[in-house]
Structure 1
Amino acid sequence: MSFSDALTRLASAQKSAKGAPAYSRFVNRKLGRVLAAASYVAGLTPNQVTGISALFTFSGIALIALADPALWVGVAVCLALVVGYAFDAADGQLARLRGGGSKSGEYLDHMVDALKISSLHSAVAISFYRFFDLDHAAYLLIPVGFTVVAAVMFFGMILKDLLARAHRASTGAAAPVQAPSTLRSLLVIPTDYGLLCVAFLLLGFKDVFLPLYTLIFAGNLLFLLAASVKWFREVGALDAAPAEPQRVGV
């Protein structure tokens, strides 16, 4: 299969865009599609693509913690995180192109994501402590809080989806179909990991990056507070759903 053929097949093998923030939906998935097609032609496996994603991502995270913020550092961090995120979108698309993913591949992908979420904001805390001339030590609580919010949000989304999938498997219920909303994608952009990646372009401008990072954290915190209530109600609705009728033997 040629690169163009793979790209064409991937265009019709995308997962639902429901709930996806704007950058992830309109930019990252398209970048991931190109990388998935190239990876297929190169003979890479989804797990190898996950490894490439991790290499770029954690190189960028290490740079945040180790390098004194400057213009070139911000550009390098942004590029590393953006490329890593694009490969993160590519591994699942490559798996679908190859006929379906594996449980071990899904596990590896989620474990890398969980490590990325925690270590990214920990690296920001280290950068704040080492290189930012903070007026108050309390500013260090912002990346600490962001670590908690990001980890809880990731776990909540994954767990809600797993519970819904288990419920559908036990009852035979069909997955809900809902058209993606462009307006919603724009409204939830503060929660977009892609936006955070791009924000690191300004890492070298400390007086700009600190308030921007704080605003993104506040947006994520507010979203988590609202989403947690919504997710709890959705999971509660699964309890109220009728159970699968028992089959009576003949």
Structure 2
Amino acid sequence: MSEASAVYPAGIGPRYRGALGRLAESQKTNKGAPAYSRFVNRPFGRILAAGAFVVGLTPNQVTAMSAVFTFAGLALAAFGHLWWGSAIACMILLMIGYALDAADGQLARLRGGGSAAGEWLDHVVDAVKAAFLHISILLCWWLNYSIDIRLMLVPILYSAVSTIFFFAMILTDQLRRQHLGTTSMIMKGQGKSSILYSIAVTPTDYGFMILMFGLIWLQSTFVPIYVLLLVANAVFLCLALPKWFMELRSLTK
């Protein structure tokens, strides 16, 4: 048992409430967080993290569970019989997977801190997810939609945008830590974003994309929304890349 777990009272109920309360007091800043991540996924992940703590799971085990739920949902979208029931099931699997993705980091903090290997595993799973999410949509369109073949380029382009965005975001964060240090970055990250900002960046939110999977059985609805999301994410990436570059450039002066 870790030192962190020793401070909690005996009994499943009291330990769960104690863990939940401690997590509520030690949440990451919501600065820059989109609406779904801020108002749905982090609170859901907090509940799962407290439960995982009580039953003795490790952060890496929670990461593995996140991968299982996520890729089960993507496989269902890609190869399952497409109807409203499978679309809702896919959405729920992805929601649970995303909540577990939030829970592993919270569980690590609850246990007294994570490890480099755990952070690596979390990022690798996220990278695979970023690439294969749009491939699953491409396969779904190919197998189920009556669609102009040229539109098949949309999921391919979205996969490229998503992969570039994820890599650039993670690399920027790592270089910030390298030049500023963990303590400085914690201080720099303090604060919060307005609710309007969280709503404004919703098109870039993985959680919002998850909700769209509930509509994937409706071709006439899903395709135009998906195209608009691609455009929004491409624009956001084009704005973010020079901003991050200039920020990192200033750190080395």
Distance 1:94 1:145, change over 3 A: same
1:219 and 1:177 map into 2 onto residues whose CA distance is 25
How does 1:91-110 map onto structure 2 within 5 Å? 91-110=104-123
Partner letter of residue 157 of structure 1?
M
Name whichever of 122-131 and 84-93 sits farther off. Answer: 122-131
Measured against aligned partners, the alpha-carbon deviations of 1:211-242 in whole angstroms (never above 9, x if no partner) come to 111111111111101111111111111122xx
Deviation at 1:8?
0.2
- Cα RMSD for the two superposed structures: 1.4
1:90 and 1:190 map into 2 onto residues whose CA distance is 23
1:141 and 1:50 map into 2 onto residues whose CA distance is 31
Deviation at 1:46?
0.3
2:26 and 2:181 map into 1 onto residues whose CA distance is 22
Structure 1 residue aligned with 2:165: 153
1:74 and 1:203 map into 2 onto residues whose CA distance is 6
Aligned to 2:174, which of 143, 155, 162?
162
2:184 and 2:85 map into 1 onto residues whose CA distance is 52
Q: Does 1:226 align with 2:239?
A: yes
Aligned to 2:212, which of 188, 199, 212?
199
Distance 1:5 1:65, change over 3 A: same
Unaligned runs of 5+ in 1: 241-250
8 A Cα contact 1:29 1:89, kept in partner? yes
TM-score, length of structure 1 as denominator length: 0.92
SS for the counterpart of 1:69 is coil
8 A Cα contact 2:31 2:189, kept in partner? no
8 A Cα contact 1:73 1:203, kept in partner? no
Q: Does 1:58 align with 2:85?
A: no
8 A Cα contact 2:73 2:91, kept in partner? yes
Measured against aligned partners, the alpha-carbon deviations of 1:34-91 in whole angstroms (never above 9, x if no partner) come to 0000000011000000011011000000011102321011101100000000000000
Deviation at 1:184?
1.6
1:17 and 1:155 map into 2 onto residues whose CA distance is 21
Structure 1 residue aligned with 2:33: 20
1:69 and 1:200 map into 2 onto residues whose CA distance is 11
Distance 1:89 1:177, change over 3 A: closer
Deviation at 1:152?
0.6
Measured against aligned partners, the alpha-carbon deviations of 1:88-143 in whole angstroms (never above 9, x if no partner) come to 00000000000000000000000000001101101111111111100x21111110
Partner letter of residue 104 of structure 2?
D
Structure 2 residue aligned with 1:188: 201
Unaligned runs of 5+ in 2: 1-7, 9-14
Deviation at 1:173?
5.1
2:190 and 2:53 map into 1 onto residues whose CA distance is 30
Aligned to 1:9, which of 22, 38, 42?
22
Partner letter of residue 63 of structure 2?
T
1:8 and 1:100 map into 2 onto residues whose CA distance is 17
Aligned to 2:42, which of 25, 29, 43?
29
8 A Cα contact 2:42 2:102, kept in partner? yes
Deviation at 1:178?
4.4
Aligned residues: 238
2:228 and 2:27 map into 1 onto residues whose CA distance is 31
Structure 1 segments, 4+ long, off by >2 Å, are: 172-175
2:201 and 2:97 map into 1 onto residues whose CA distance is 21
Aligned to 1:69, which of 59, 68, 82?
82
Partner letter of residue 8 of structure 1?
G
Partner letter of residue 169 of structure 2?
M
Aligned to 1:132, which of 140, 145, 155?
145
1:80 and 1:12 map into 2 onto residues whose CA distance is 28
